[in-house]
Amino acid sequence: MKRLGIYVQVPFCQTKCTYCNFHTGVVAKERFAPYVDAVCKEIREHRELLKAARVIWTSGERPLETRGKRVESGENEETKYLVDTVYFGGGTPSLLEAGQLAKILEAIREALANEFQEVTLEADPETVEREKADAWARAGINRVSFGLQSFSDEELKAAGRMHRRGDVYRAVPILRAAGIQNISFDLIAGLPHQTKESWKHSLEELIALGPEHVSVYLLEVDEESRLGKELLAGGTRYSAGAVPGEDEMAEFYEMAQAKLGTAGYRHYEISNWAKPGFESKHNLKYWRREPYLGFGAGAHSFSVRQRWANVHDALAYVGAIESGRLPVEQLETVTAEQALEEELFLGLRQLDGVDVGRIERKYGVALAGRFEPLTTAGLVEREGDVVRLAEEKLSVSNEVFVELMK
Ligand code: SF4
């Protein structure tokens, strides 16, 4: 049986962060129950819904256009899937009641063959309470990913986050006591008011708390967000003038590389570090181009052969599911060319590198010419068939990708 990841999108937040323009909303709690019911219905009826959306999906169903034939991915009509990872992302899924999360997990257990190994909940630290954490663990949630972003209250406040440094110190022991022994922390390099000194403090506090997994992202400001608009048009309300420059952000990233490495975290993906054995099983599926099904408003799915996405608007999504209409609004067949680009791009994001020989054989292409200039420039390293980003160039990986995709 092939392994399958399930992603559940929960598009609700407590406030809107200044840099974000995701399709998430700050809504009344009364909106949660109908949303959860719609997600459960989508999960239970996914085979019929996907079939109606003309998605070729082989989770125990005969694929629509491939009966008796092998498809590009090597899957055939007999392919069966076993769900081993579930990821509740958002938004802020920890805003849902524990019973609502349990209900969604139950719907997955009923609708799909499963053997959950990793069930992740994205959470904001201030939403963690003892009873809630106990109920999460009872429901089967065994990994919590905190959007910490910083340990500086000044930076958190400027970014429009609800939690403060103290909430993290309160939340972590609650999770540990509940038996959740796989905790991930996200940090953002480049928040307004961040300095080399404050970044160093955030890294040191994070390491002292000993999470099993760490993600470090460089600040990405959406142009349509409040901070994005201020950066373009000027102003002081959202501290646009205090956003660190690109060189500083690269320096922050390099400091994270050094400190996390010294503390025993293995850098396994451009933005991700883990203690041995705690790499994110679910996220590895994205980087390895393995299949996943997404449920909820704006959720994306991938079957290797196709990608599709649900409507973003939560009300439109609930309306569609309740009235038996399709929530899928985009469906795309992945061409061999796109698949090749994705294999290179996603493969290079992983620090183990990409097996170029395997890709050349699979796609019938020669890639030496594409990598040679990058190797000569010292941006990538080649060892036999394996090509990987040079460690000291990880902070400028976007430039490498631009060169590679030319
Ligand atoms: S919590 Fe996440 S999704 Fe919600 S506004 Fe902040 S950055 Fe955006």
**153: CB partners within 8 A, 6+ apart:** 164, 165
**Quick one: the chain helix, strand, coil %, rounded to 5?**
45, 20, 35
pLDDT in tens, the chain (406 residues): 889 999 999 999 999 999 988 888 888 899 999 999 999 999 999 999 999 998 887 544 443 343 344 444 444 444 688 999 999 999 999 999 999 999 999 999 999 999 999 999 999 999 999 999 999 999 999 999 999 999 999 999 999 999 999 999 999 999 999 999 999 999 999 999 999 999 999 999 999 999 999 999 999 888 889 989 989 888 888 898 898 998 999 999 999 999 999 999 999 999 999 999 999 999 999 999 999 999 999 999 999 989 999 999 999 999 999 999 999 999 999 999 999 999 999 999 999 999 999 999 999 999 888 888 889 988 899 999 999 998 888 887 888 888 877 7
Query: How far apart are the CA of 16 and the centre of ligand 1, in A?
Result: 6
Query: How far apart are the CA of 81 and the centre of ligand 1, in A?
Result: 32
Please indicate, yes or no, whether the overall pTM of this predicted structure exceeds 0.75: yes
Q: Around Cβ 152, how many Cβ atoms within 10 Å?
A: 22
Extract the tokens encoding 219. Answer: 């600040």
Query: How far apart are the CA of 192 and the centre of ligand 1, in A?
Result: 16
d(CA 119, CA 103): 14
pLDDT value at residue 60: 43
pLDDT value at residue 58: 59
Q: Which atom of ligand 1 is nearest to the CA of 21?
A: 8
Q: Which atom of ligand 1 is nearest to the CA of 13?
A: 4
Mutate to test the pocket of ligand 1, among 19, 20, 215 (most ligand atoms within 8 A of CB): 20
- Backbone phi and psi for residue 375, each to the nearest 5 degrees, phi listed first: -70, -45
pLDDT value at residue 79: 64
Mutate to test the pocket of ligand 1, among 10, 15, 16, 312 (most ligand atoms within 8 A of CB): 16
Q: Is the peptide bond before 91 cis (omega within 30 degrees of 0)?
A: yes
Residues with CB under 6 Å of ligand 1 are 13, 16-17, 20, 22, 24, 90-92, 147
pLDDT value at residue 397: 83
Which residue owns the Cα nearest ligand 1 atom 3?
A: 91
Ranges assigned E (strand) in 190-305:
213-218, 266-269, 272-274, 292-295, 300-302
Query: How far apart are the CA of 18 and the centre of ligand 1, in A?
Result: 9
Query: How far apart are the CA of 119 and the centre of ligand 1, in A?
Result: 21
Which residue owns the Cα nearest ligand 1 atom 6?
A: 17
Query: How far apart are the CA of 217 and the centre of ligand 1, in A?
Result: 14
Which residue owns the Cα nearest ligand 1 atom 8?
A: 20
Task: Tell me how long the chain is.
Answer: 406
Closest CA to 123 of 77, 68, 177, 182: 182
Q: Which atom of ligand 1 is nearest to the CA of 161?
A: 6
d(CA 143, CA 297): 23
Query: How far apart are the CA of 371 and the centre of ligand 1, in A?
Result: 37
**211: CB partners within 8 A, 6+ apart:** 146, 172, 183, 184, 185
Sheet containing 354-355: order of strands: 354-355, 386-389, 380-383
Mutate to test the pocket of ligand 1, among 15, 21, 24 (most ligand atoms within 8 A of CB): 24
Query: How far apart are the CA of 186 and the centre of ligand 1, in A?
Result: 12
**1: CB partners within 8 A, 6+ apart:** 80, 81, 82, 113
Which residue owns the Cα nearest ligand 1 atom 2?
A: 91
d(CA 292, CA 111): 15
Q: Which atom of ligand 1 is nearest to the CA of 24?
A: 3
Mutate to test the pocket of ligand 1, among 9, 15, 17 (most ligand atoms within 8 A of CB): 17
pLDDT value at residue 63: 39
Q: Which atom of ligand 1 is nearest to the CA of 160?
A: 6
pLDDT value at residue 383: 92
